[in-house]
Amino acid sequence: MFNKNLKSTPLYYSIIQQLYYGQSLSCAELSLKIEKSIPIVTKALNELIQAEYVIELGYAVSSGGRRPQMYAVKSDRLYIVKVAMDQLSTRIGVTDLLNNFVLPVEMIELKLQNNPDALQTLVELINQHIDKTGISKDIIIGVGIGMPGFINAKEGINYSYLDTGKTTLAAYLTEKTDLLTYIDNDSSLVALAELKFGIAKKLKNVMIINFSWGIGLGMIIDGKLFRGHSGFAGEFSHIPMSEDGALCACGKQGCLEAEASLLAVSEKAVSGIRNGRISSLQISEDDEHYALVGDSLMEAANKGDQYSIELISEAAYMIGRGLSILIHITNPEIIAISGRGAKVGKLLLAPIQNALNKYCIPRLASGTEIVISDLGYDSELTGAGILVMENLNK
């Protein structure tokens, strides 16, 4: 990654990481975060400045003592490829280390289930988007990809989608893009984004709900992302809501995802309108593009369409039932609603609270605040960048 004249060391990587997360830090702040003495950090900073990876920003505002010099990464020196996937579409962007996109985020429809061409399409999307930016791969740190499914992030394996045979998915993508590539579950990356840049940055115990085509959960416990024994913790979407409900993709009936995900809500909207429900939401006779229906439904709900609001409220109430179980088990400080569905965040809060009032012990419910993430739909892309930075020194 570094110049030939500048030998790469874990210390350099740590400084770059912390400046990425903190955006601007003093030498003393860096010293505390990476647990190295100020003289050692000062020497490394000067070397990184000379090599043009770090810049001096000037002095911080005085707090009564000597004003510290502030440092930041040089924005045009290194880049990250960020990919956010769901079951129906994929977004991609390239950012500098200040999280500025080089080009507008590109989105394509890419169905993962029963699509043998999905993997090749993903490879082409990544390579073509990088070509459009004109940025050399020599200064791209790596590719971070968030995707649905049961994922072993350490090994780079997705057990649910994009089968690559004997090689791991991460290794396959690394070979095809000629860039180090890392994969993780989409909801885990949403939680990482909240931990480093969002609502959970200064908190210890936070649950992050990724309300999208599925309903994922990222668990931040004691200030760290909790993955569980096998790395699959957070399968909130498969909490059983009934024994005779809709059939879930997992093969069981009545899962929360099958009843209340945006995909389920979109399917209900299409069925309801075709059966005579009155709505401003327009559905064509052959409309099966639920990604488009879901976005249109949320837009209609925000504009006051009664049927759209009714569907979203029903889903939110079911999510609230699930959250009551979560609160009883984990007793979090905050539950943040993030992901695609954060677009209708204001409509979610009341029915979720109604469900908590009915199903949750008041003493526990009163200690947990339900909020809407500021990162929202961008959180998975943000988390994809963090995934790369977390692997920087590996």
Question: Which one-letter amino acid corresponds to residue 287?
Answer: D
Architecture in CATH of 79-190+380-390:
2-Layer Sandwich (3.30)
CA torsion sign for 192, 195, 196, 197 is: positive
Q: For the chain (length 394 residues), average pLDDT per consecutive 10? A: 67 94 93 94 95 90 76 93 94 96 95 92 97 96 94 91 92 96 95 93 92 92 88 82 75 82 90 87 65 86 94 96 93 93 93 95 91 92 96 83
Tokens matching residue 374: 């500021």
Residues contacting residue 279 through CB under 8 Å, at least 6 positions apart? 269, 272, 273, 300, 305, 306, 307, 308
Question: Which residues lie across from 79 on neighbouring strands?
Answer: 96, 140
Looking up tokens 């090689």, which residue turns up?
167
Q: Residue 260's closest CA among 197, 312, 208?
A: 312
Burial label, 138 (beta-carbon count in 10 A; 0-12, 13-18, 19+)? exposed
Run of H or E residues at 207: strand 206-211
Question: Which residues lie across from 90 on neighbouring strands?
Answer: 85, 108
Burial label, 259 (beta-carbon count in 10 A; 0-12, 13-18, 19+)? buried
What was the pLDDT predicted at 167? 92
Cβ–Cβ < 8 Å for 10, 59:
no
CA torsion sign for 256, 260, 263, 265 is: positive
Backbone angles phi, psi at 175, to 5 degrees: -65, -40
Burial label, 171 (beta-carbon count in 10 A; 0-12, 13-18, 19+)? middle
Which pTM does this prediction carry? 0.90
According to CATH, where is 1.10.10.10 located in the chain?
10-73
Residue 52, CA distances (Å) to 6, 39, 119, 231 in order: 11, 20, 37, 38
Cβ–Cβ < 8 Å for 218, 225:
yes
What was the pLDDT predicted at 285? 58
What was the pLDDT predicted at 386? 97
What was the pLDDT predicted at 1? 65
d(CA 336, CA 194): 9
Write the class of the CATH domain 10-73.
mainly alpha
According to CATH, where is 3.30.420.40 located in the chain?
79-190+380-390, 200-374
* The listed CATH number (3.40.50.970, 3.40.50.300, 3.90.1530.10, 3.30.420.40) that belongs to domain 200-374: 3.30.420.40
